[in-house]
Amino acid sequence: MNRRRYAILASGEFAGRAAKTAHGVIAYGSDEVVAVIDAEHAGKRVREVVPILNSDVPIVADFAGALDFSPDALLIGVAPAGGALPAAWRATIVTSLEAGLEVVSGLHQILAEDPEFTAAAARGGGSIWDVRLAPEVPLFSGEAYRVESRVVLMVGTDCAVGKMTVALELTRAALIHGASARFVATGQTGIMIAGSGIAIDRVISDFATGAAERLVVEHAPGADVLFVEGQGGINNPAFAPVTLALLFGAAPDALVLVHRPSRKVVDELGTPLLSYRAAIRTYEALCATVKPAKVVGIALNTGDLDAAGARAEIERAQAETGLPVDDVVRFGPDALYAALAPAFAIKGVPLAEPVPR
Amino acid sequence: MNRRRYAILASGEFAGRAAKTAHGVIAYGSDEVVAVIDAEHAGKRVREVVPILNSDVPIVADFAGALDFSPDALLIGVAPAGGALPAAWRATIVTSLEAGLEVVSGLHQILAEDPEFTAAAARGGGSIWDVRLAPEVPLFSGEAYRVESRVVLMVGTDCAVGKMTVALELTRAALIHGASARFVATGQTGIMIAGSGIAIDRVISDFATGAAERLVVEHAPGADVLFVEGQGGINNPAFAPVTLALLFGAAPDALVLVHRPSRKVVDELGTPLLSYRAAIRTYEALCATVKPAKVVGIALNTGDLDAAGARAEIERAQAETGLPVDDVVRFGPDALYAALAPAFAIKGVPLAEPVPR
């Protein structure tokens, strides 16, 4: 399969949290990124704006500037709340389709249903991949209870704390250490990275658990362990139903709690963030009513703390919970993987032991 | 507004739980029901098959038989799991539309998107109301926290235990006693009864809490108290996300737990039913993380117990929980309403006191 050559549209947003799709695809995607479009940072390299990405992909002012790098696809790199398309981006999408590019979008708004876009695609030979468009799936049936893989679900204290990244890093560590591990994408960025998956938040509510189950059933054959991307947070009043759809539908054997210590409240409404112990208690209590699963470790996103602050928070989380805790981006995933591998054992058979380093 | 004259299609299913839409509309709907179609019970009256309904509506073998009673609408009275349309019903729907009737459906499968049905409607002057088709709604915003009505949400130990019925009966009792009360429909049968509402289980997961919030915000003006129909059960692995969407999105001030004592497990998978105390603990613990709300009373559906068994179960539930408990269908809603009215008080102002009888 040919790798795409992406220009990523992130106008005015590349530096911020709204561009997490752009950041994720640059960090983990199997496709190549040739340019980022954001006039605010035009002329810089990605690493100058988002140091953690450590990428020298150029940032350009507009689509015309991106064409110098011969993209064959335009990725909508920003996920606005609610998933609607900012009006200002329409012209760039039309121009891309007229130029024969594939436009890849994770928005709720389905681009392929928009007559202006389909007309532009017809004129120029471009195409559209609406990543969020969910397939029809059956209702939850309990088939997920019978898969032979160990299923590990990331659960968070909130949205956008790093659940996808932790799942990707643990998958990478497991593969390096010889386990047959798979990342299971449940949101638009994860799907763009993995090339498959279902955006659970886009599924009709009655079928959301069925969609999570379908993902587990389809990814399980031949895999020792599945690391399932989580969504939302169990006390995020807007998005918790999506969280619960994964908690019940994926039928996990173990949970990894993901938290960003700098986050103090869930949302603009002031919903209090759960403490480590309250989050663990809430997730485990719910699982206990259906299929028991424990939180076996904690992954922190300490990107906005200094090194001392990060270490202190890791120690605090360990002291409060007695669980293995680490930041898998800052310190690499091996230590946490090593600590958790026993808990990921399948039907009593341990996974491949981590290689000592 | 003219009342519809419904023929209810319930072929082979009228006696059973799958026909709860038919039963609900016969018991509570503001439209008239002129005939039920179910060949298995043709020639009988409704009360002979479903005694609790106490209705003398005739049961006929087929649509031709129903025409003797001059229906102007056909209601799909059975809700198959997953909401797909049984093939055997297509002919009846086509015939109805060709005969100029309105076809009212709560199925997931949208009839108005089916070319065979739209062609039949065009030929015969019939029309289609897809009750489950959800409107576009914004994301949850917290606006539900600011409504002036007291919001009371029914929560259940499972699907199909009687949450809608309890909400309807409590609304009726509150109105009789002078409170400005409204029933808020969140599922297809409730919408058919009330004439408005949103089928939360049909809403895209990301927007399910927003849909619940929208219902509360739109029904609140002028109402002292809203009785919101619940959905599913918090440990039903298939449908719990819909339950949680209401628990967070409707932002209730108080909860009424609804249970059917004859139910022993949640589903065919053997998921254990929660005890009264475990159900209360689970619902209250979740609410406590977002907006605190307590279970203030328990409504039992004892329809399949004898009178002594019903009384014994009511006493057991009272003893286990210390809460007011009753069966609002078997014994009428007044006693439970009277016991709960203080808990439904709005901002410290009591609702109308129940009339002594």
pLDDT for the residue numbered A354: 43
Confidence band of A27 (pLDDT split at 50, 70, 90): very high
Counting Cα atoms < 13 Å in the Cβ hemisphere of B129 gives: 15
Superfamily covering domain B5-130: NAD(P)-binding Rossmann-like Domain (3.40.50.720)
Over 50: is that where the pLDDT of B190 sits?
Answer: yes
Q: Is the separation of the CB atoms in B249 and B211 below 8 Å?
A: yes
Share of chain B above pLDDT 70, in %: 95
Note the pLDDT tens digit of each residue in B265-298.
Answer: 998 888 999 999 999 999 999 999 999 999 999 9
The pLDDT assigned to A268 comes to: 82
CA dist., res. A356 & res. A338, Å (int)? 9
Backbone angles phi, psi at A340, to 5 degrees: -95, -20
**8 Å CB contact between A283 and A152:** no
Structure tokens at B101: 């009737």
Tokens of A268: 């603009």
Q: Retrieve residue B264's tokens.
A: 């022993």
Q: pLDDT band for position A351 (50/70/90)?
A: low
pLDDT computed for residue A355 by the predictor: 40
Alpha-carbon gap, residue A270 to B232, rounded angstroms: 28
Contacts of A289 in chain B (CB under 8 A): 234-235, 271-272, 274, 278, 282
Burial degree of B52 (CB within 10 A; 0-12, 13-18, 19+): exposed
CB contact under 8 A, B242 and A108: no
At B94-104, the pLDDT tens digits run 999 999 999 99
Q: Let me know if the fold of A5-130 is the same as that of A143-344.
A: yes
CA distance A210 to A143: 10
| B272/A206 Cβ within 8 A | no
Q: Return the pLDDT at B32.
A: 94
Angle, to 10 degrees, between the axis of helix A20-28 and the axis of helix A163-176? 10
Q: How far apart are CA A35 and CA A70, in angstroms?
A: 9
H-helix or E-strand spanning residue B74: strand B73-76
pTM for the model? 0.90
Categorize the per-residue pLDDT at B108 as very low, low, confident or very high, splitting at 50, 70 and 90.
confident
The Cα B290–Cα A251 span in angstroms is 25
Choose the mutation target among B137, B206, B248 for the interface with A, i.e. most A CBs under 10 Å: B206
Tell me the C-alpha distance between A335 and A267, whole Å: 32
Q: Say yes or no: A250 contacts chain B, CB-CB below 8 A.
A: no
One-letter identity of residue A326: D
pLDDT at B347 (0 to 100):
45
- pLDDT confidence band for B343 (50 / 70 / 90): confident
CB contacts, 8 Å: B285 with chain A = 282, 285
A183-201 residue pLDDT tens: 999 999 999 999 889 999 9
A242-273 pLDDT per residue, tens = 999 999 999 999 999 999 999 989 988 889 99
Please list, residue by residue across A297-321, b when 16 or more beta carbons sit within 10 angstroms of its beta carbon and e when fewer do: bbbbbbbebeeeebeebbeebeeeb
| A98, A120 Cβ separation under 8 angstroms | yes
Please, which pLDDT band fits residue A82 given cuts at 50, 70 and 90?
low
CB nearest to B204's CB, from A202, A268, A285 = A202
Contact between B232 and B267 (Cβ < 8 Å): no
- Tell me: the pLDDT tens digits for B6-64? 999 999 899 998 898 999 999 999 899 999 999 999 999 999 999 989 899 999 999 99
* pLDDT confidence of residue B328: 97
| Spatial separation of the C-alpha atoms in residues A68 and A63, rounded to whole Å | 9
Which residues does residue A326 pair with via DSSP β-bridges, in sequence order?
A299
Q: Where are the domains of chain A?
A: 5-130, 143-344
Tell whether the model's pLDDT for residue B134 goes beyond 90: no
Residue B350 — pLDDT band, cuts 50, 70, 90? low
List the single residue in A81, A241, A278 with the smallest CB-CB distance to B205: A241
Q: Do the chains contact at B278 and A271, CB–CB below 8 Å?
A: no
From the list A206, A239, A285, the residue facing B239 with the nearest CB is A206
Share of chain A above pLDDT 70, in %: 95
Is the pLDDT at A343 greater than 90? The verdict is: no
Cα–Cα distance between B319 and B63 in angstroms, integer?
50
Put simply, the answer to whether B206 touches A108 (Cβ < 8 Å) is yes
Residue in chain B nearest A232 by alpha carbon: B206
Q: How far is CA B69 from CA B33, B60, B64, B98, B102, in A?
A: 10, 10, 10, 17, 15
**Cα maximum dimension of chain A:** 62
B273 chain-A contacts, CB cut-off 8 A: none
Closest residue of chain A to B283, computed from CA coordinates: A286
- pLDDT(A144) > 90: yes
List all residues of chain A from 283 to 302 with a beta carbon under 8 Å from chain B: 285-286, 289-291
- What integer best gives the mean pLDDT of chain A? 92
Q: What is d(CA A204, CA B203) in angstroms, rounded to the nearest whole number?
A: 5
3-state secondary structure of A298: strand
For A232-266, letters b (16+ CB in 10 Å) and e give: bbbbbbbbbbbbbbbbbbbbbbbbbbbbbbebeeb
Classify the phi-psi angles of A83: left when phi > 0, otherwise alpha if psi is within -120 to 50, otherwise beta: left
Chain B interface test: which of A109, A159, A198, A205 (most B C-beta within 10 Å): A205
**Inter-chain touch B241–A238, beta carbons under 8 Å:** no
The structural architecture, per CATH, of the domain A143-344 is: 3-Layer(aba) Sandwich (3.40)
Instruction: Say whether residue A84 is in contact with chain B using an 8 A CB cutoff.
Output: no
